[in-house]
Amino acid sequence: MSEILREVRLYGRLGARFGRVHRLAVRSTAEAIRALCVLIPGFERELSESELHGVRYACFLGKRNIGEDDIRHPVGSDSIRIAPVLAGAKRGGLFQTILGAVLIVAGAVVNVITPGAGTPFMQLGAAMALGGVIQMLSPQQRGLSARDSPENGASYNFNGAVNTSAQGNPAPLLYGRMIVGSAVISAGIYAEDQV
């Protein structure tokens, strides 16, 4: 009985170093990763050491991103894609809030020793803590994905800097003369035949 060869695509540094396309007789994404670790020298070490450099990997079945729970499920006829994802350090304002609280306490201690000298630290700490709390409470816009890039490239309809705004971002209110990227609120094209 012959098994079906599944297409496994590697992106980023993995693809450049170990080859972009592989065909393997596997039934799941986990089995494909294990097969690549056995067949390609250095592949397993690259996967484990990339975490130290802030790179993780996302697995896709066709165009669907799968999580850790689905990695052992059968893949069907879709190709398996493994792409690098940068590990972010953002925690939604938690660090900023903690740093603000530390500055408030440090300012209070300095005020006890030298009255009035710690007030700027306390004001800065209060502003940072308030900003961190606002970040934690407000919804954060997701970053631009690969699907968003065609709409956010250079605009040939509008002059000026590159248009890099995503849907859902606030519209800035600017005064004076500035050269900035465009944030298109509404646009339309009217096509007509020329006679």
pLDDT at 146: 43
CA-based nearest residue to 139, from 116, 172, 170, 173 = 170
pLDDT at 159: 52
Topology annotation, domain 6-86: Ubiquitin-like (UB roll) (3.10.20)
Q: What is the mean pLDDT of each run of 10 residues along the chain (195 residues)?
A: 82 89 90 92 89 82 83 84 73 80 92 91 90 77 48 51 59 70 64 70
pLDDT at 170: 65
pLDDT at 23: 92
CA distances from 153 to 33, 50, 61, 143, 189 (A): 34, 30, 27, 15, 18
**Tokens encoding 60:** 């896709």
pLDDT at 48: 86
pLDDT at 97: 87
CA-based nearest residue to 141, from 162, 120, 113, 170 = 170
Give the C-alpha separation, 182 to 185, whole Å: 9
Q: The whole model's pTM is what?
A: 0.47
What sign does the dihedral 179-180-186-190 (CA atoms) show?
A: positive
pLDDT at 123: 92
Give the C-alpha separation, 173 to 44, whole Å: 50
pLDDT at 62: 83
pLDDT at 108: 92
pLDDT at 38: 92
Task: Please identify which residue in the block is written with the tokens 């999580």.
Answer: 67
Give the C-alpha separation, 153 to 18, whole Å: 31
Q: Name the residue ranges covered by the structural domains of the chain.
A: 6-86, 94-137
pLDDT at 193: 72
CA distances from 53 to 47, 56, 86, 114, 136 (A): 11, 9, 9, 44, 27
- Cβ neighbourhood burial of 103 (10 Å; 0-12, 13-18, 19+): buried
